[in-house]
Amino acid sequence: MDLPDDDRLTREGLALGEADAPATAAPDRLLLIACGALAREILDLIRRNGWDHMDLTCLPAILHNAPDRIPDAVEQAVQKHRATHRRIFVVYADCGTGGRLAATCARLGVQMVEGPHCYSFFEGNTRFAATAEEEFTAFYLTDFLVRQFDAFVWEPLGLDRHPQLRDTYFAHYTKLVYQAQTDDPALTAKAQECAARLGLAFERRFTGYGDLETALASA
Amino acid sequence: MADDQDDIILADLDDEELVQQMFDDLYDGLREEIEESVNILLERGWQPYEILTKALVAGMTIVGQDFRDGILFVPEVLLAANAMKGGMAILKPLLVETGAPKQGKMVIGTVKGDIHDIGKNLVAMMMEGAGFEVIDLGINNAVDSYLDALESEKPDILGMSALLTTTMPYMKVVIDTLIEKGVRDDYIVLVGGAPLNEEFGRAIGADAYCRDAAVAVETAKSYVARKHNQAAMRA
Ligand code: B12
DSSP states of B182-229 as a string?
T-GGGSEEEEE-TT--HHHHHHTT-SEE-SSHHHHHHHHHHHHHHHHH
> Is the CB of A127 inside 8 Å of chain B's CB atoms?
no
Q: Would you call A168 and B74 a contact, using CB atoms and an 8 Å cutoff? A: no
Q: DSSP of B50-111, one letter per residue? A: HIIIIIIIHHHHHHHHHHHTTSS-HHHHHHHHHHHHHHHHHHHHHHHHTT----EEEEEEEB
Residues of A within 8 A of B113 (CB-CB) are 132-133, 136
Q: Would you call A96 and B163 a contact, using CB atoms and an 8 Å cutoff? A: yes
Q: Is the dihedral of CA A144, A81, A124, A51 positive or negative?
A: negative
pLDDT, residue A24, reads 57
How near does any CA of chain B get to the CA of A219, in Å?
Answer: 23
Average pLDDT, rounded, for chain A: 93
pLDDT, residue B6, reads 62
pLDDT, residue A27, reads 65
pLDDT at A1 over 70: no
Number of CB atoms found within 10 A of residue B33's CB = 21
pLDDT at A25 over 60: no
pLDDT, residue A4, reads 77
Distance CA B130, CA B53 (A): 7
Distance, CA B194 to ligand 1 centroid (Å)?
7
Distance, CA B116 to ligand 1 centroid (Å)?
5
pLDDT along chain B (235 residues), means of 10: 67 96 97 97 95 95 93 94 96 85 93 95 94 96 98 97 94 98 97 95 98 95 90 77
Q: Which H or E run contains A141? A: strand A138-141
pLDDT, residue B4, reads 52
Number of CB atoms found within 10 A of residue B192's CB = 27
pLDDT, residue A105, reads 98
Half-sphere exposure of residue B53: CA atoms within 13 angstroms, side-chain side = 11
Q: Would you call A129 and B197 a contact, using CB atoms and an 8 Å cutoff? A: no
Can you give the pTM of this predicted structure?
0.90
Which A residues 3-62 touch B at CB under 8 Å?
Answer: none
How near does any CA of chain B get to the CA of A36, in Å?
Answer: 21
Distance CA B111, CA B109 (A): 6
Tell me the mean pLDDT in the region A130-136: 86
pLDDT-derived band at A26 (thresholds 50, 70, 90) equals low
Q: DSSP of A74-131, one letter per residue? A: HHHHHHHHTTT-SEEEEE---TTSTTHHHHHHHHHT-EE--SSSHHHHHH-HHHHHHH
Q: Which amino acid is at A190?
A: K
Contact status, residue A64 vs residue A95, Cβ threshold 8 Å: yes
Q: Is the dihedral of CA A56, A218, A146, A94 positive or negative?
A: positive
> Is the CB of B140 inside 8 Å of chain A's CB atoms?
yes
The residue nearest atom 54 of ligand 1, judged by CA position, is: A65
* Distance between first and last Cα of chain A: 22
| Ligand 1: lining residues by beta carbon, under 6 Å | A 64-67, 94-96, 116-117, 119, 136, 139-140, 169-170; B 64, 74, 77, 108, 114-120, 122-123, 159-161, 163-166, 190-195, 210, 212-213, 216
pLDDT at A44 over 60: yes
Contact status, residue B63 vs residue B12, Cβ threshold 8 Å: no
pLDDT, residue A158, reads 95
Q: DSSP of A14-40, one letter per residue? A: B-TTSSSSPPPP-TTSEEEEEEGGGHH
Which B residues 189-218 touch A at CB under 8 Å?
Answer: 194-197, 200
Q: DSSP of B108-171, one letter per residue? A: EEEBTT----HHHHHHHHHHHHTTEEEEE--SSB-HHHHHHHHHHH--SEEEEE--STTTTTHH
Residues of A within 8 A of B115 (CB-CB) are 136-137, 172-173
> Is the CB of A133 inside 8 Å of chain B's CB atoms?
yes
Q: Which H or E run contains A54? A: strand A54-59
pLDDT-derived band at A127 (thresholds 50, 70, 90) equals very high
Select from B115, B120, B170, B211 the residue whose CB has the most chain A CBs within 10 Å, as the one to mutate to test that interface: B115
Q: Is the dihedral of CA B61, B67, B72, B77 positive or negative?
A: positive
Distance, CA A66 to ligand 1 centroid (Å)?
10
Tell me the mean pLDDT in the region A129-158: 94
> Is the CB of B28 inside 8 Å of chain A's CB atoms?
no
Percent pLDDT > 70 in chain A is: 95
Distance CA B147, CA B177 (A): 9
The interface pTM score, or ipTM, of the predicted complex is 0.82
DSSP-assigned letter for residue B181: T
pLDDT, residue A23, reads 53
Lay out the sheet containing A54-59: strands in order across.
A54-59, A30-35, A87-91, A111-112
pLDDT, residue A22, reads 52
Distance CA A136, CA A163 (A): 24
Long-range (24+ apart) CB contacts under 8 A made by B2-6 are B2/B28, B5/B30, B5/B33
Q: Would you call A156 and B78 a contact, using CB atoms and an 8 Å cutoff? A: no
Contact status, residue B1 vs residue B28, Cβ threshold 8 Å: yes
Atom of ligand 1 nearest to the CA of B167: 84
Strands B188-192 and B157-161: parallel
The CA distances from residue B164 to A94, A170, A174, B196, B208, in Å, are 10, 16, 18, 9, 19
Contact status, residue A55 vs residue A89, Cβ threshold 8 Å: no
Backbone angles phi, psi at A94, to 5 degrees: -60, -40
> Is the CB of A96 inside 8 Å of chain B's CB atoms?
yes
| Higher pLDDT among residues A45 and A16, named by residue | A45
Q: Which amino acid is at B28?
A: D
The shortest CB-CB distance from B165 to any of A96, A157, A165 is to: A96
Q: Closest Cα to residue A198, out of A148, A146, A154?
A: A154
